């Protein structure tokens, strides 16, 4: 009658044995499914940062040449590269180098915290236990005060028993407070400072890693819009011709159409801004043509300055893209839209384990 359930029960027992011998599996399997799935969180998810830092540090430690691309990129010749973007390139390199320093500092601080925790944690647990008992006894004292007040002048014997109990608790409280080391505040502060060094170093690592990627990304987006930017030259010149013919209504319509197009071109922000000023001036009840032409000429100047810069810089685009890809593969992983599979598997293993956070309280 029960033969059919025997294999099912046996499988349940086997599963319990496996989970009991390896508890992290309980967390690992759901995490793995979540991180490699179509709806996986982005690498910037706050819950992933600690393990992501670990992944990056382990990669840097395992391969000493993994950062050579930063030095190689720094040593490349950018002789005719526009200065306005050279500053962003320099900022990216500087931030990447700073990020590596901060990650190493964070790991060194973490090791120091782990070392000091061996002596600190027993004291912390003892103090926190004493504090819990103190709070409990103080709550009992408050309850006794109410009872003593209520029994005042009504039952002398009960009043005496309650007062004796109060004195006993006060004596116990004194003993509990004496259990806390006299230098506990100094011990706590010194350890908190160690934790703060680690936390601050991690924050600076992430901030610099993000900056390194974003600065280059800004330049790349501009250079990638070069073809679209060059294609609007005749449209911009046509606006000037229409204005000179005195047809302000047509000019306004043309500028509206053109600014929508320019809004999709990363390199065209300054040109768009100046043309918008032209449109606003022409749309006034009594427009000043001289003022509108001044803004238009500024738009032209911005256009040709940007066009010249784009022509000078377009040959550097492949090198910039290669450098950015290397950043995204390691120190700037946070900036990727999706978690690479090998990273996701590492994060699933790392996050499935237990991390002691009691030292932070």
Residue 322 lies in a domain: no
Q: pLDDT value at position 21?
A: 47
Are 25 and 18 in contact by the 8 Å Cβ rule? The answer is yes
pLDDT per residue over 30-83, tens digit each? Answer: 878 888 888 889 999 999 999 999 999 999 888 878 888 888 888 887 878 898
> Are 49 and 13 in a shared domain?
yes
Residue 304 covered by a domain: yes
In a shared domain, residues 121 and 191: yes
Compute the average pLDDT of residues 268-297: 89
Are both 162 and 280 inside the same structural domain? no
End-of-domain residue from the set 194, 224, 254: 224
Assess if residue 330 is contained within a domain. Answer: no
Instruction: Write down which residue in 176, 203, 224 finishes a domain.
Output: 224
Domain total of the chain: 3
Q: How far apart are CA 309 and CA 319, in angstroms?
A: 17
Quote the pLDDT of residue 2: 56
Q: Copy the structure tokens of residue 76.
A: 């490349």
Residue 267 has pLDDT above 60, yes or no: yes
Q: Are residues 261 and 218 in the same domain?
A: no
Please indicate, yes or no, if residue 300 is contained in any of the structural domains.
yes
In a domain, 282, yes or no: yes
Residue 7: pLDDT over 80: no
Q: How many CB atoms lie within 10 A of CB 106?
A: 22
Residues 16 and 76 in one domain: no
Same domain, 73 and 210: yes
206 and 101 within one domain: yes
Per-residue pLDDT of 209-265, as tens digits, reads 999 999 999 999 999 999 999 999 999 999 888 888 878 888 889 989 999 999 999
User: Do residues 194 and 112 make contact, with C-beta atoms less than 8 angstroms apart?
Assistant: yes
Q: Residue 359 corresponds to which tokens in the numbers above?
A: 């030292």
Q: Is residue 46 part of a domain?
A: yes
8 Å CB contact between 293 and 243: yes
The token pair at 338 is 């999706």
Residues 289 and 187 in one domain: no
Looking at the fold, whether 136 and 183 belong to one and the same domain comes out as yes
Residue pair 309/249 in contact by the 8 Å Cβ criterion: no
Write down the pLDDT at residue 240: 87
Query: DSSP string covering 275-325, please?
Result: HHHHHHHHTSSS--HHHHHHHHHHHHHHHHHHHHHHHHHGGGHHHHHHHHH
Alpha helices in 152-247, H assignment, sequence order: 156-179, 184-224, 226-230, 233-244
Q: Are residues 126 and 174 in the same domain?
A: yes
Are 31 and 62 found together in one domain? yes
Residue ranges making up the domain that contains 168: 68-224
| Residues 43 and 52: beta-carbon distance below 8 Å | yes
276 belongs to a structural domain:
yes
Spatial neighbors of 69 by CB under 8 A, at least 6 apart, are 322, 323, 326
145 lies in the same domain as 112: yes
* Cα(308)–Cα(326) distance, integer angstroms: 28
Q: Is there a domain that residue 326 lies in?
A: no
């Amino acid at each position: 009658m029960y033969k059919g359930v025997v294999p099912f029960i046996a499988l349940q027992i086997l599963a319990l044995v496996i989970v009991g011998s390896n508890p992290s599996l309980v967390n690992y399997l759901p995490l793995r499914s979540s991180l490699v799935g179509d709806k996986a969180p982005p690498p910037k998810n706050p819950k992933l940062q600690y393990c992501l830092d670990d992944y990056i540090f382990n990669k840097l430690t395992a391969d000493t040449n993994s950062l050579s691309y930063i030095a190689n990129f720094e040593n490349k010749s950018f002789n005719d590269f526009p200065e306005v973007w050279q500053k962003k390139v320099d900022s990216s390199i500087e931030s990447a180098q700073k990020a590596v320093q901060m990650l190493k500092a964070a790991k060194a601080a973490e090791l120091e915290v782990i070392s000091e925790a061996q002596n600190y944690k027993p004291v912390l647990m003892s103090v926190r236990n004493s504090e819990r008992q103190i709070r409990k006894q103080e709550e009992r004292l408050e309850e006794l005060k109410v009872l003593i007040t209520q029994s005042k002048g009504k039952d002398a014997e009960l009043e005496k028993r309650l007062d004796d109990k109060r004195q006993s608790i006060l004596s116990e409280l004194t003993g509990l407070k004496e259990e806390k080391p006299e230098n506990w505040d100094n011990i706590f502060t010194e350890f908190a400072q160690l934790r703060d060094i680690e936390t601050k170093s991690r924050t600076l690592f992430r901030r610099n890693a993000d900056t390194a990627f974003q600065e280059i990304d800004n330049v790349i987006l501009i250079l990638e819009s070069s073809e679209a930017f060059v294609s609007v030259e005749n449209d911009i010149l046509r606006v000037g011709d229409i204005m000179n013919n005195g047809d302000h209504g047509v000019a306004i319509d043309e500028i509206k159409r053109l600014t929508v197009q320019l809004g999709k071109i990363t390199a065209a922000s300054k040109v768009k801004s100046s043309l918008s000023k032209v449109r606003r001036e022409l749309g006034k009840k009594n427009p000043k043509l001289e003022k509108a032409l001044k803004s238009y000429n500024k738009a032209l100047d911005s256009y040709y300055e940007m066009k010249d810069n784009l022509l000078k810089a377009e040959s550097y685009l492949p090198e910039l893209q290669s450098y950015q890809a290397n950043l995204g593969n390691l120190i700037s992983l946070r900036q990727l839209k999706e978690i690479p599979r090998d990273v996701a598997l590492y994060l699933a293993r790392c996050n499935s384990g237990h991390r002691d956070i009691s030292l932070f309280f």
